[in-house]
Amino acid sequence: MADKFEDLRTFITVMSAGGVNAAAAELGIAKSAVSRRLSDLEKRLGVSLIERASRRFEATAVGLEYERRARLVLASLEELDSFAVPQTERRSVTISADTAMISHVLVPAIARVNPKLQNERILLRFAATQDHANAGEADVIIAAKVTPDLEYRDVFSSRRIICASPAYIASHGTPEEAKHLDGHFAVVVDDGAAATWQLGERTRAMAKTAMITPDMDAAAAAAVAGIGLAQLPDFVVAAALGDGRLVRLMTREEPQPTQIRAFYRKGIDLSGRRVIDALTDALSPIGVDK
């Protein structure tokens, strides 16, 4: 019976992920194991669930209906397991992210899905860090790049914005091209690298650095105060851009958006998966480029 439920879970994951390779990565098992489970399920049912003649990944008509019913079955099983957990026991999930990400992105997202997590008795713990490669015992890491031995799921994309206060622009002028930056002061977020900005696909050293800080909110506050230009993620400066405290500059020099991902170890438990699912659902496109 346990094998039957594993086959169901594998089939649903294949459908959600859009293919065997992606499902294998999400489940943390070999592609051959995923294919074998699918074959075993189809053999047991005596029908084809996946259309293998097509170049694209598609389910058969029977497969689509079977997926719908399988999801209901697994949801009932997970609800039953949750009921069996003592009512006083809360499962803790630790999320590692930098402070600005927690404040501007994760807390608002969690607020939208918190009733559901509370009903499932999941307790969230945030661990603020910039050293994601050494995030300790975190269950989920929200970042752009982490060590390669972790599984991940895309959750949202973010763009770095060059901006300054109206007062700074009135005093120093408006830079329009990269060559104009030599005459401007920069507020730089120190992440252990040099004082550089990403302009398009190029990296440029800032000649006149007015302030260096490890904190993105402090850098945004410095830009609002007129200390200099800043290049910061859109979710950090969205409010200040919206109310006019900051002005967006040099949009043609902005780098491509960065994909932010939820990283997790293979075999993450049900509580961790529920948190990742909730965050993925809650984090619709955010930032200033909606």
Q: In terms of domains, do 185 and 239 share one?
A: yes
Q: Which of 217, 232, 252, 130 lies closest to 186 in space, CA to CA? A: 232
Q: What is the pLDDT of residue 1?
A: 44
What confidence category does residue 165 fall into, taking pLDDT thresholds of 50, 70 and 90? very high
In total, how many domains does the chain have?
Answer: 3
The residues that bridge with 142 in the sheet, in sequence order, are: 262
Quick one: average pLDDT of 150-171? Answer: 91
Answer with the residue of higher pLDDT: 266 or 100. Answer: 100
What is the C-alpha end-to-end distance of the chain, expressed in Å?
47
Residue 289 is assigned to a structural domain of this protein: no
Q: What is the pLDDT of residue 229?
A: 94
Residue 288 reports pLDDT greater than 60: no
What confidence category does residue 271 fall into, taking pLDDT thresholds of 50, 70 and 90? confident
Q: What is the pLDDT of residue 220?
A: 94
Q: In terms of domains, do 248 and 272 share one?
A: no
> Considering only 37-46, 86-95, 165-174, 267-276, which range has the smallest mean pLDDT?
86-95
Residue 190 is assigned to a structural domain of this protein: yes
Residue 282 reports pLDDT greater than 90: no
Query: Do 223 and 169 meet the contact criterion of CB atoms below 8 Å apart?
Result: no
**Torsions phi, psi for 88 (to 5 deg):** -85, -10
Q: In terms of domains, do 192 and 272 share one?
A: no
- How far, in whole angstroms, is CA 2 from its chain's centroid? 32
Apex CA 191: angle with CA 188 and CA 193, to 5°? 85
Q: Which of 193, 105, 196, 192 lies closest to 155 in space, CA to CA? A: 105
Ordered alpha helix ranges (H), the chain: 2-17, 20-27, 31-45, 61-84, 99-101, 107-119, 166-172, 216-224, 234-242, 270-282
**Residues 6+ away with beta carbon under 8 Å from 54:** none
Residue 266: domain span: 91-156+259-282
Q: Is 56 exposed, middle or buried (0-12, 13-18, 19+ CB in 10 A)?
A: exposed
Residue 290 is assigned to a structural domain of this protein: no
Quick one: average pLDDT of 96-112? Answer: 87
Looking at the whole model, is its pTM more than 0.85? no
Residue 225 is assigned to a structural domain of this protein: yes
Q: Cα torsion at 222, 224, 229, 231 (round to 10°)?
A: 80
Over the chain, what is the mean pLDDT?
81
Q: In terms of domains, do 195 and 127 share one?
A: no
Residue 287 is assigned to a structural domain of this protein: no
pLDDT tens digits, 6-62: 888 888 888 888 888 888 888 888 889 888 888 888 888 888 888 876 666 788 888
Alpha carbons 132 and 118: distance in angstroms, whole number: 27
Q: In terms of domains, do 240 and 165 share one?
A: yes
Residue type, 82: S
Q: Which of 109, 155, 156, 152 lies closest to 268 in space, CA to CA? A: 152
Q: Which CATH number do you get for residue 129?
A: 3.40.190.10
Quick one: average pLDDT of 190-218? Answer: 76
